[in-house]
Amino acid sequence: MEDQVYTDNMKRAPEEEPERQQYFMGLLRELVREKSREYGHPLTACIQTFGCQMNAKDSEKLLGILEEAGFQASDSEASDFVLYNTCTVRDNANQRVYGRLGYLNSLKQKNPRMRIALCGCMMQEPAVVERIRKSYRFVDLVFGTHNIYKLAELLYRQMTEGHMVIDIWQGTDKIVEDLPSQRKYPFKCGVNIMYGCNNFCSYCIVPYVRGRERSREPEDILRELHALAEDGVKEVMLLGQNVNSYGKTLARPMSFANLLEEAAKVPGIERIRFMTSHPKDLSDELIAVMRDCPKICRHLHLPLQSGSSRILKAMNRVYDKEQYLALAAKIQKEIPDLSLTTDIIVGFPGETEEDFQETLDVVRKVRYDSAFTFIYSKRTGTPAAAMEDQVPEPVVKDRFDRLLKEVQKISAERCKKDVGKTLDALVEGMDTHDPALVTGRLSNNIMVHFPGTGEDIGKILPVKLLESKGFYYMGERV
Ligand code: 5AD
Ligand code: SF4
């Protein structure tokens, strides 16, 4: 009988999106209400996010769908529904998920009604899904990066059919708009401007798990920005794997610089950030727009990856050391108060001590405000995984330590330069260590702690920077 209801409901589902998902959110809501009555408490849902800003944004969308379907959001993994939104950029991200799954299994043994789902980048790898299917039978639902908008439909199916549901797409050309989203912060928010990546850096798995580059229509992005501003959002982060190539594939092409100018016109949006820039596509037009538009934050994340032209070539980065240095110098000259940050990989196959010295040389010349340093991680399926000359672990570790020391020394020096100045900070929350303090973010992305109360959260306030603590400041409101 129940099967019949399910089949009939499936048949009635609209073909078009987002109508189809709205339909399934309605069905799921009824089911959730029923289960809540049966269990004697409202059904709770907990999402754990691994990885980057892109995943954080996806999790907001996933939570939006779950809340719309009647789930109560919870931070505790002892929930009725637990979803891990996974990352696979380096192997340690995968290992963390496997480790945590063991813990989830122990929770599920105490509460067999619990449902466990996995989604995100790691699930786009066939070997991972095979392992889950075989060895993690307690997982109820697995989906990937291309179909997150289908959560309501997939979960409805799982809850009515009762067995493990796996739905992974190899790619998509679809962008589904207008589904709910539940923001983590009321005053700031990520906004997708494009999905996927076409760069194929030889070490990177992202193009394989996030698919080909697709830009959203500028009208859709601007409509979202207006709605966010009306809803009290002051700071947005425009998100894409390679924002500098935004708009190239649209029917009516538009440059990223142009999109930024349009975004800056949206009343109420006070600050605009973006992530991530690829040096090869960073235009003079963009530098000029950043320089001239005060709403665009004084921060540029410009991944270097390596300072050696030889390694950069093997990485398929399409720029060499000299071009990167020239670009960084041009940006620093045009926008002197900009903070420049980067990503660096140590131990790419074939990296010699000389290559590593080239990386240190760039770090010393550019003087980054901060840098994320990574040990090269072999990702199956990428060209670099098949390269000979993988660097021995102790050598990599030693280089990593030396790089980190250099990076930290320079950022501490850089952080001193603004002591004594008064800069605007967007208050993000209470200080986690001292209840008399709040924590704010400066336009250049550096944090400042200063006396304040919960009332200040979400406000942009002028703060005098009294002392540098290496990579953050202590300050006072003026
Ligand atoms: N190994 C180590 N670091 C990597 N990154 C991407 N792929 C790998 C890999 N296989 C780093 C790059 C990128 C950041 C998000 O992660 O530095 O910019
Ligand atoms: Fe991790 Fe890359 Fe996926 Fe972000 S896009 S979650 S960094 S694999």
Statement: residue 416 has pLDDT above 90: yes
Q: What is the pLDDT of residue 6?
A: 74
Measured from the Cα of 372, ligand 1's closest atom is 17
Contact 157, 203 (CB under 8 A): no
Least trusted range by pLDDT, from 1-5, 247-251, 274-278, 445-449? 1-5
Residue 265 CA to ligand 2 center (angstroms) comes to 30
Q: Span 423-444, mean pLDDT?
A: 97
C-alpha radius of gyration, the chain, whole number: 23
Q: Which of 53, 85, 88, 201 to mutate to test the pocket of ligand 2 (most atoms within 8 A of CB)?
A: 88
Measured by CA distance, the residue closest to atom 16 of ligand 1 is 89
Distance (Å) from CA 251 to ligand 2 centroid: 28
pLDDT at position 3 is 67
> What are the pocket residues of ligand 1 if the criterion is a CB atom closer than 6 Å to any ligand atom?
89-90, 203-204, 303, 305, 343, 345, 374, 376-377, 379
Show the ligand 2 pocket: residues with CB < 6 angstroms.
51-52, 54-55, 87-89, 121, 206, 209-210
Q: In sequence order, what are the residues at sequence separation of 6 or more whose Cβ sits closer than 8 angstroms to the Cβ of residue 289?
A: 257, 260, 261, 296
Span 92-112, pLDDT tens digits: 999 999 999 999 999 999 999
Alpha carbon nearest to ligand 2 atom 1, residue: 87
Q: Is the pLDDT of residue 178 over 90?
A: no
- The sign of the torsion formed by the CA atoms of 293, 295, 298, 304 equals negative
* Whether pLDDT at 335 is above 80: yes
The per-residue pLDDT of the chain, averaged, comes to: 96
Asked if the model's pLDDT at residue 7 lies above 90, the reply is: no
Could you tell me the sign of the dihedral formed by the alpha carbons of 360, 363, 369, 370, in that order? negative
Pocket test for ligand 2, best of 62, 95, 121 (most atoms within 8 A of CB): 121
Q: Which atom of ligand 2 is nearest to the CA of 205?
A: 8
Report CA(53)–ligand 1 centroid distance (Å). Answer: 14
The residues near 297 (Cβ < 8 Å, ≥ 6 apart) are 271, 272, 273, 443, 444, 445
Nearest atom in ligand 1 to the alpha carbon of residue 276 is 18
The ligand placed nearest to the CA atom of residue 303 is 1
pLDDT tens readout for residues 373-407: 999 999 999 999 999 999 999 999 999 999 999 99
In this predicted structure, the answer to whether residue 456 has a pLDDT above a threshold of 80 is yes
Identify the pLDDT of residue 177.
Answer: 87
- For the CA of 205, the closest atom of ligand 1 is 7
**96 Cα to the center of ligand 1, angstroms:** 17
Alpha-carbon gap, residue 246 to 257, rounded angstroms: 9
Q: How far apart are CA 105 and CA 123, in angstroms?
A: 18
Q: What is the percentage of the chain residues whose pLDDT exceeds 70? A: 99
Which atom of ligand 2 lies at the shortest distance from residue 145's CA?
3
Pick the ligand that lies closest to the CA of residue 374.
1
> 443 CB contacts (<8 Å, ≥6 apart)?
271, 297, 298, 299, 423, 424
Q: Using 50, 70 and 90 to split pLDDT, how confident is the model at 249?
A: confident
pLDDT digits (tens, 9 = 90+) for 113-152: 999 999 999 999 999 999 999 999 999 999 999 999 999 9
Q: How confident is the model at residue 1 (pLDDT cuts 50, 70, 90)?
A: low
Atom of ligand 1 nearest to the CA of 378: 10
